[in-house]
Amino acid sequence: MAEVTSELMFELLKKLNQRFDKVDFAISELRADNQTMRAQLHALQGDVNNLRATVGHFESRLDRIDNRLELREFQEAQLRFEPQP
């Protein structure tokens, strides 16, 4: 069995330190990717909210148009069925 010397321990610790540096770098890359995705999701949520508001506006306009058409059709029907003098 190999003798455990301080030089061997030092080499092992250097290798461990290099691996931990790689892990730290990978974690910081993952964090940056996560932050990017969160920012994109936030922007997407804003877009969805804007679309909902626009659709709501269109629905209210269509409701008003529907009401006007029904009133006009009702008036036209009344004029057709009124007795002529």
pLDDT, tens digit, for every residue of 23-49? 999 999 999 999 999 999 999 999 999
The model's confidence at residue 77, banded by pLDDT at 50, 70 and 90, is confident
pLDDT at 85: 59
On the question of pLDDT at 51 being above 70, the answer is: yes
Residue 55 has pLDDT above 80, yes or no: yes
The overall average pLDDT reported for the chain is 90
79 — pLDDT class (breaks 50, 70, 90): confident
Structure tokens at 51: 């679309």
